[in-house]
Structure 1
């Protein structure tokens, strides 16, 4: 069953997505997500100019061999562009294999380990009270785990808080240059312990709480924050510090028992190997789109299981419903799955392009038994939303020093 054609689509239904369609000789096709937020055309070009010509005529069923061909077969391994290109092809091939076999992909991965996929929602407020009101809304919708983020007094913008924007998609927008945001650890430290103190006073232990630092802190600052939040029993503290130097997390781990989650920017098992085998984190947060697709994430999750680390896949809105579906098939079939980040199934425009049968029920996603990934893509509708150049923000300290966003 050979590959006859591969198409690459870049569309922007509120934000940019790179979608890959692999078509076999008998007309069966599979879909993959290759979106790299702010560098979409780089991965689209990588696919069109370097990957597609190498795959025409190859057996679509040879998923592992094609994965290794695209990874080991080039001198320049790893990195977000390469691994997103591999990921999209990999997802599409799994989609094809499921369609040909008449089975949902999770059945090809070993079958269900659970009936549904537990989610955590986002509560992002302009102040503590606003955040807690949004927590209540999440609880009312059935969510049993909520990530709390609040605007920081004295800073014009805060990660996770949308201000006058109605949703994540509008926030992305079409910006001529990356927006710049100020950061102050001192102001942040004044707010966050109070946020979780009031959250536990109001909600008790009826819901799991999470928080995303988004890598703003140094390791010793992260250790201090983790220690301050221990009494509030977080499910995990996300991206406390940058871990390009993985030794950083030894310092954090030594000082706090708050569970740690990391990995949304990781691309391969080599990025997180030391963190996993030294048990420096509790949740690994790689995304299928950025870490080599279903095959890549499966390798990471199996390795993580040896060290009692659970998966908690990244679920940002710059990952298309195709990636989200890939996560659902992985999550429901992976024994050491922990929890899935969830910001909705997309805006109204994207829902006209990406069709799927996933449903939300009582804080869980239920997936149907459609063959393959269970997602379809409307090429004609996608053409109505052309690519728009846009960027994620840049962060600076109050004195102008460039910092981690």
Structure 2
């Protein structure tokens, strides 16, 4: 169910131990840093790698662990600033992954001195992932490099990014670096971790890579997209990662989009037919969910989502990743107030589950008033392809009081 990974594949362990100038053998980089880097290289089947820590005072990245690079390359990239032509600088700026399958053809590198330097030491492709610690602060960037170029469809970025997530967990609650207890770079176990207090809490929530960051205790997400391309660039790694981990997928979307929706994971190497037969992948239509009573009913929908998540656990799946497109029900909602109340109350329902629920919206189908309510009822949001904490999220009790006080969803207060 995994994509073919580029890279040499048949390297021996000696290649990793005796790579050119690995910082760990020189006593630098720290054991946890070097181990995470080596796990990332193995997970991606890469040839080189670096880990860089963010220096907030100088606003730059500094190499703290490395494997496979000669000194002249390390000297060039030892300090990387935001204006450097590199995948790590791009990742620092946008706080999400940067994947370049052919640096010789990428806008990041063409015509730059960095391109010549990387090609001189045999680098042809690269993948950088942000290391985001518990409070949302960027700790640094993990990068793996390849001797051979590849097509985007050939490469699955998820295994390497799991390593970045696990390494970031070492800094949770300000604890010092330590070697992650599970060095299997190919999976993340869903073990209990402590959570911050807030309007939404849960007792067990291992982080999940999504849209260039991690889902932690807040897992009710509104995701705004302008096109199908933008949407699937963010959703496909999330979907394939969940299916690859043996988790359940429950997706709600209009019937006219189903064929395209299942074609995309199939092209990424997922056995979609087998997943559907086993119940691991279930695709539902709006008329079976949002509109199953003939029109949108918030009480019915809250009950339905709870049942879907409970059914996933009853079927033996460790987690259900739910993605839902509610826009097609827009015309049937009697007012935006019902929808806003539903979304806010859903936060209370989801506080009893670790399962992520992604409410995906085509912004071209939303009016301004509804978009604002959607934004205010979700603790995390995807905008521009990046997952961020939502500063517009409103306390449930305050928002529900406001909804109750509304006299009209569309009446202007001036006219």
TM-score, normalised via structure 2 length: 0.29
TM-score, normalised via structure 1 length: 0.30
Q: Which structure has the bigger radius of gyration?
A: 2
